[in-house]
Amino acid sequence: MKANDMLSDNTPVLAGVRVLDASRVLAGPFCGQILGDLGAEVIKIERPGQGDETRTWGPPFLSPPLAPGGRGVAGEGPLSAYYLSCNRNKKGLTLDLSKPKGVDVFYRLLEKSDILLENFRPDSAAKLGLIPEKMLERNPRLIICSISGFGRTGPMKDLPGYDFAIQGLSGLMSITGPAEGPPSKVGVAVTDVLTGLYGAVAVLACLHARKLSGHGYHIDLALLDCAVAAQVNVAQAYLTSGQVPPRQGNAHLQIVPYQAFQTADDWLILAVGNDGQFQRFCKAAGREDLAKDERFATNSERVRHREDLIPIIASLLKTRTADEWQKLLLEAEVPHAPVWNYQQLFEHPQAQARGLRVTVRAPDGKPVDLVGSPFQIDGATLPTPAMPPGLGQDTETILTQVLGLDARTIEQLKQQRVI
């Protein structure tokens, strides 16, 4: 018997865990998708007839084009690339939480769930009675993850939080962009993604703690807090020195040479992380004199004299093509990388080997490519990737199987437009 056979387990690591994903847009849905990727049953709750607004954030939309009136194939609402990116491995339920019967159904679902992800506005949630204290009264073992821009405390707690604004407020934009140019945002909604990741970590920690304590938890997670925490060494450099770090463009604040350089035909990242790598780079480039120069012998000195060194390396890199440099640097064991676009990335054998693109089936049977989950766990079986749900596609099944509602009651909820 092989070692991997002994570790084999057909049960997903989060099997038996039920998550209510009542969040919208990106941070909460991304957190829910992570839990779904690990095998939790994730029920995405959306407003009837509207759904998560990211369904309409496009183009691009899932082909074929939407029919008149914004409806898609098989009676589904529009499915944008944005929505597809953060809602796989979920079930879809529609529920109007502005109606008392909708809130009643919601609480009944809470009683049978382990985790709630929500980004309700505090004032709206209070009016509907959807505050953590009341929800924990109904289910004392519930783990609630409340996601907002600024958290539940502080003078900014009632302000809405948007990724672009948080990137600006967190200091992230101040260190991103060309050194002599304007501040820039990161090319993806990174503060939402980071918050989703921190949310998943906190939820799983509380899920473990509940086994010992027997009680639930309320997690108060803010985009601003997560964005600051994720700036690690650069934010810490300010706290340590008291000096506001300048933008470095594609360079590194504390390591030199560690940036993108233009070669004879393309861009190449040179990521020299220590003095030994610098010496090997100099030898491969035919410039061993640079390694012997006192100004460049150690990283600290290279940082201090970056304005002298970087122009020399920039001129040097332009003397060969990117492919030529990659061959030299690979042989010399100097960290480096080309700058790929998405086409180059997804066509590369490494992306194929790691499942960075997965193909699922739409309700009509047509193949749909999605970004894959990064989880590779020996000894566990992870769920087969599933198509993000159409608007309310599992409503009746969930209400029947989870709450035990009969067909008549479900039909009444439909007539009242609760679901």
Collect contacts of 352-360 with beta carbons under 8 A, ≥24 apart: 358/385, 360/88, 360/385, 360/386, 360/387
Bridge partners, residue 18, by sequence: 41
Q: Give residues with Cβ within 8 angstroms of 28, minimum separation 6.
A: 21, 22, 117, 118, 119, 145, 147, 196, 199
Q: Give residues with Cβ within 8 angstroms of 416, minimum separation 6.
A: 99, 101
Burial state string for 239-248 with b = 16 or more CB within 10 A and e = fewer than 16: eeeeeebebb
- 192 flagged as catalytic: yes
Q: Which position among 192, 220, 293, 394 bears the catalytic label? A: 192
d(CA 83, CA 50): 13
d(CA 375, CA 35): 11
| Residue 66 CB neighbours (<10 A) | 19
DSSP at 114:
S
Instruction: Name the one residue in this structure whose structure tokens are 């509207």.
Output: 50
Which residues are annotated as catalytic? 192
